[in-house]
Amino acid sequence: MNTRFSKIIIALATFFIATTLLQGQKQQTQDGEKFQWFGDAKLGIFIHWGIYAVNGIDESWSFYNGYISHKDYLKQTERFTAANYDPDYWAGLIKKSGAKYAVITSKHHDGFALWNTKYGDLNAVKSSAAKRDVLSPFVKALRKNKLKVGLYYSLPDWSYNDYTHFTRNERRYDIKNEPERWNRFVNYYQGQLTELMSSYKPDLIWFDGDWEHSGEEWKAKETRDLLHHYQPNVIINSRLRGHGDYDTPEQGVPIARPKSEYWELCMTMNDSWGYQHNDKNYKTANQLIRIFVDCLNLGGNLLLDIGPKADGTIPEEQVKILEEFGRWTHKHKEAIYASNAGLPFGHYYGPTTLSKDLQTLYLFVPHRPNGPLIIKGLKNKINRIRVVGTGTKLSHQILSKQYWSSVPGLTYINLPEGELDDQMTVVAVQLKGKIDLYREDGQVIESN
């Protein structure tokens, strides 16, 4: 090969590699930008609103599991009035709680749609006492309050005649025997998604129920492309058979940090997603705030659920919890929004977060301390320590630092009783430079 020719080849190859790398980088930053609002949001409100609120029974599952006949279940449509529904109040309350987005059940597994879909008649307009589209005004109210719009959409539709599953014990058909029928269902559900995407341009789609079929059967990849066609920046939760963007653990707070970069715990305030008048097993605001902080500590979001009644009012217990969240999140906003996951276990007895620039460490104090707070293994010098929300400066002491050892001393912080928040106090430790932790095993005394 002559040298000129090989130079051309090398130049071309370099150009090719450089452009591919650049494209990769661009893709990454675009993705980073796309997820930024979600990563920074930290708190979202989940809303399960549907006909199941009428009797106060399990959403969809009550007929699927045979506790009520399908016919009686559907009778609830007659008393789904939305008579006192005030979407502006809903959105205002969500905003006040400190949440940055909401995810509402546009359609649950029972197939009852909150909007005026032209696919089928089982919806708030054509077959409920409300006789109107109850989704559009809520989406509008969210936008007015500058909240991001998330739509929950159940892939299974147990009421639809061309869907395979009807109840736990009854299947309508098998896809291999009636592929045409299944295709009709896929067109139906993708048609509904097209309506949602084109009318609302949601920021997030929250799928559910993907476990009933494989990715190929759902045509999951095609569905993902369809959503992106209408809204290139839409974020999709994990329940689309491997075609989603972020993980959604449910009810149980993860103990170790989940592997995916973005994740969100969804959780009920009592034991039910939808409104159930008999369910008074509410967690307290304090318990829920602790759960929220556990999510922050591991770098995730909390999607906290409410279940409005059939007339559109939000149960009083739920309003109170949202208001208490509002007080607490407002006071401690700097430690919450856009924060990074906190310290690995071992450095502090409790949850922590870090500011975006990694120069402020936030210590959450879940209990009344009976002595100073302690940080172990912190190499940074400390510029200032203060109470978040009040600004009170706190004194600290570094003990057990040996001049000959690289092991940092123990940082003791005095937190006076009068500074404690009713729910959870937060202390900001302003560091000199980015957080720098000692992560080794310790050192023996070689000289004294």
At its nearest, how many Å lie between ligand GLC and the CB of residue 209? 6
At its nearest, how many Å lie between ligand GLC and the CB of residue 334? 30
Q: Decide if 355 contacts 129 (C-beta within 8 A).
A: no
At its nearest, how many Å lie between ligand GLC and the CB of residue 59? 5
Burial class (CB in 10 A: 0-12, 13-18, 19+), 304: buried
Q: Where does 177-323 show beta strands of DSSP type E? A: 204-208, 235-236, 264-267, 301-306
The binding site for ligand GLC (CB under 6 A) comprises 48, 59, 208, 250, 266, 273
Taking each continuous run of H as one helix and of E as one strand, the counts in the chain are 12, 17
At its nearest, how many Å lie between ligand GLC and the CB of residue 173? 22
**Secondary structure (3-state) at 225:** helix
CA pair distance 69, 64, nearest whole angstrom: 9
At its nearest, how many Å lie between ligand GLC and the CB of residue 48? 6
CA pair distance 436, 447, nearest whole angstrom: 26
User: Nearer Cβ to ligand GLC, position 193 or 385?
Assistant: 193
User: Nearer Cβ to ligand GLC, position 59 or 364?
Assistant: 59
User: Nearer Cβ to ligand GLC, position 291 or 437?
Assistant: 291
User: Nearer Cβ to ligand GLC, position 135 or 266?
Assistant: 266
Per DSSP, 350 falls in state S
Q: Decide if 219 contacts 186 (C-beta within 8 A).
A: yes
At its nearest, how many Å lie between ligand GLC and the CB of residue 143? 24
User: Nearer Cβ to ligand GLC, position 150 or 408?
Assistant: 150
- Would strands 204-208 and 148-154 be described as parallel, antiparallel, or unpaired? parallel
Here the contacts of 248-257 (C-beta below 8 Å, separation 24 or greater) are: 248/206, 248/303, 253/291, 253/294, 253/295, 254/298, 254/300, 256/298, 257/298, 257/299, 257/341
Q: Which two structure tokens, joined as six digits, stand for 280?
A: 């008074």
At its nearest, how many Å lie between ligand GLC and the CB of residue 174? 23
User: Nearer Cβ to ligand GLC, position 254 or 350?
Assistant: 254
User: Nearer Cβ to ligand GLC, position 128 or 154?
Assistant: 154
Q: Can you say how many angstroms the Cα of residue 144 is from the centroid of all Cα atoms in its chain? A: 21
